[in-house]
């Protein structure tokens, strides 16, 4: 039986309410809704937190915020999904305690310097807390098992492959009965962090054959149809035979859409928590010290067996130092809870948990935050 996001959210809210009632005044009470948190020690602050930014991590934030209110009774974090750019600008202006962004702070654009000024002269850190795979969702009658690679996807969106029984796609699916049907590509019409990361993946995995870049998706001339938001592109695929799109995992999952496997050269790889976790484990860090900026080439170019490389990671942008003491405690407590989120609940929301070795790096940064 498929559980809808709304039903799941209602169930989680009910669990949270019950646990909050049982916690009383124990400020480090175990969160029975998430057994993984029971042995995690946090020092809860007294400052309610505010944050803003990436819409791609909003559903993960809902999971984190619920667990945080259980682990630190009476405390809360209010997260506004307004987009990565707004998250960075609001953080740098001191309007929120931390920002959520699909991309790390941009030094050339002045974001790094502005963040340091906001943090009382101390550097801000990019902490990669949320990883959400991007699914290639499709609607091909009679085909529920499809293999694609970056080259075929790029050629579809460049208008070089226009039919589902094209020899290049058939070569990846030798046993499939692919129909003689036009391909209808959908893409995000507005600026989107998902589009930005999708284009970075295509460029990296095709060795530069894909030329588009940035948050505005750049298909070939006259190719495909743009739709506003992940929900609309996903709904368009559900309603249109022969269609395909890229979308955050939770949306096609909730709609029951078929999702293609990706072949990076070592065989087709299904999208699941394990294969995405393998991609995260293989990620290299290009930031210095506790600034954990991820080298996306090491993710998108990973050709190892069992790796699903099309992953969007979002950052929590925080002050390394410069908060008042209670805010520092609250930020550290919240991020500790987030790093130990319930794997099953994260997957239901369309994300994957931090692999253990990667989580150690994240927690070293979180523990180093000071007032």
User: Binding site for phosphate, residues?
Assistant: 54-56, 84, 102, 192-194
Q: What is the DSSP letter of 129?
A: E
Strand segments (E) across the chain: 49-53, 77-81, 98-101, 124-139, 147-148, 184-188, 225-227, 243-248, 258-259, 261-263, 268-269, 284-285, 294-295, 311-319
Dist. CA 251–CA 102, nearest whole Å: 18
Dist. CA 27–CA 368, nearest whole Å: 22
Strand partners of residue 246 = 136
Dist. CA 8–CA 29, nearest whole Å: 24
| Residue ranges of the binding site | 54-56, 84, 102, 192-194
Identify the H or E element spanning 69: helix 58-71
Give the Å distances, CA to CA, from 258 to 23, 62, 63, 242, 284. Answer: 42, 26, 26, 12, 31
Dist. CA 218–CA 339, nearest whole Å: 34
- The two tokens of residue 199 are 């284009």
Match 């010290």 to its residue by tokens.
Answer: 289
- The two tokens of residue 146 are 């499809």
3-state helix, strand, coil in the chain (%, to 5): 40, 20, 40
């Amino acid at each position: 039986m498929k559980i809808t996001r709304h039903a799941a959210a209602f169930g989680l809210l009910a669990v949270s309410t019950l646990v909050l009632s049982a916690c009383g005044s124990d400020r480090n009470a175990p969160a029975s809704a998430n057994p993984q948190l029971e042995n995690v020690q946090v020092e809860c602050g007294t400052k309610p937190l505010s944050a803003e930014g990436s819409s791609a991590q909003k559903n993960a934030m809902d999971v984190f915020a619920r667990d945080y209110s259980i682990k630190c009774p009476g405390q809360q974090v209010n997260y506004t999904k307004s987009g990565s750019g707004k998250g960075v600008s609001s953080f740098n202006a001191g309007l929120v305690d931390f920002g959520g962004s699909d991309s790390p702070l941009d030094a050339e654009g002045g974001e790094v310097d502005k963040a340091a000024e906001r943090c009382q002269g101390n550097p801000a850190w990019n902490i990669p807390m949320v990883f959400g795979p991007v699914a290639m969702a499709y609607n091909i009658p009679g085909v529920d098992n499809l293999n694609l690679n970056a080259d075929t996807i790029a050629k579809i969106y460049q208008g070089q492959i226009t039919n589902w029984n094209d020899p290049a796609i058939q070569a990846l699916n030798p046993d499939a009965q692919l129909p003689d049907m036009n391909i209808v590509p959908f893409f995000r019409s507005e600026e989107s962090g998902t589009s930005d990361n999708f284009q970075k993946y295509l460029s990296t995995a095709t060795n530069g054959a894909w030329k588009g870049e940035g948050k505005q998706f750049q298909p070939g001339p006259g190719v495909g149809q743009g739709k506003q938001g992940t929900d609309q592109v996903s709904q368009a695929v559900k309603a249109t035979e022969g269609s395909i799109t890229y979308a955050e995992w939770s949306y096609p999952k909730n709609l029951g859409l078929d999702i293609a496997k990706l072949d990076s050269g070592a065989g087709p790889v299904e999208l699941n928590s394990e294969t995405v976790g393998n991609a995260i484990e293989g990620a290299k860090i290009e930031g210095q010290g506790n600034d954990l900026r991820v080298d996306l080439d090491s993710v998108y170019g990973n050709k190892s067996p069992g790796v699903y490389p099309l992953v969007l990671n979002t950052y929590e942008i925080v002050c390394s130092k410069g908060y008042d003491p209670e805010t520092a405690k609250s930020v550290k407590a919240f991020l500790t809870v987030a790093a130990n989120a319930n794997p099953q609940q994260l997957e239901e929301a369309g994300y994957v948990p931090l692999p253990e070795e990667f989580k150690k790096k994240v927690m070293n940064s979180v523990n180093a935050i000071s007032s």
